[in-house]
Amino acid sequence: MSTVEHLLSALVGCGIDNALIVLDGPEVPILDGSAIGWVELLLDAGRQSQVAPRWWLQVLQPVRVDSGDGWAMLLPASSSRYEISIDFPHPAIGRQHCVFDLRRDDYREAIAPARTFGFAAQVEAMRAAGRARGGSLDNAILLGDEGVLNPGGLRFANEFARHKLLDCIGDLSLAGGPIEGRVVAERPGHGPNLALLQALFSQPGAWRWRRGQALSRQRLAHAA
């Protein structure tokens, strides 16, 4: 199964850690290129607070990986904080930052709507290689030489960094539970995100599973 990061990010952002999802194809549908469609479907379906505890992956020691001109790091913290920075040599992007704590209740408004993005100059090459065949202005931000080609423009001034943070939440959820710690990344990507988890798990003293609280009634009411 591929392209799972947007759906996984939505599950984490909605505080859902016990769900059965059945797919009948090789990849998760892209929808509009963000996680907002999944968030709306999950909240429409409804959620139940369970007696079983939630388990957090607690970071105990700093872990860092480097990849080309980027890097990613996990640090001990009592929060679940993501700090993402990107830098693209394109007039519509440039250097952007996004900071978000999963213990906040506004993932739906602040992170979920941020869309994936691509460059028009690369589209034909990708399609020739059998990729991005369903890609369009309806499910991604498309960038031309001078700016954004989508008629509606951007949803956030730093939508590109927000989407990288959205992806990071989804990628790191493959650990098996939400991160309790601080994630700091410069120019992150799926490969470095997964390498960061592998580096963490390769050091037994750098992490542990911590039993925590189930989803609060207050958060359930806010998201309903």
Tokens of 91: 């007039």
Tokens of 52: 């079983």
Q: Is 190 a catalytic residue?
A: yes
Instruction: Cite the DSSP H helix spans in the chain.
Output: 5-13, 36-45, 107-110, 120-128, 159-172, 190-201, 217-223
Q: Tell me 72's DSSP state.
A: E
Q: Name the catalytic one among 6, 90, 163, 190.
A: 190
User: Tokens 């991604």 map to which residue?
Assistant: 140
The closest of 170, 2, 177, 17 to 84, measured between CA atoms, is: 170
Antiparallel, parallel or unpaired: β 141-143 and 117-119: parallel
The two counts, helices (H) then strands (E), for the chain are: 7, 9
Please tell me the distance from the alpha carbon of residue 106 to that of residue 98, in angstroms, as a whole number: 14
Annotate 48-76 with b (16+ C-beta within 10 A) or e (fewer): eeeeeebebbbbbeebebebeebbbbbee
The closest of 2, 5, 37 to 173, measured between CA atoms, is: 5
| Residues classed as catalytic | 190
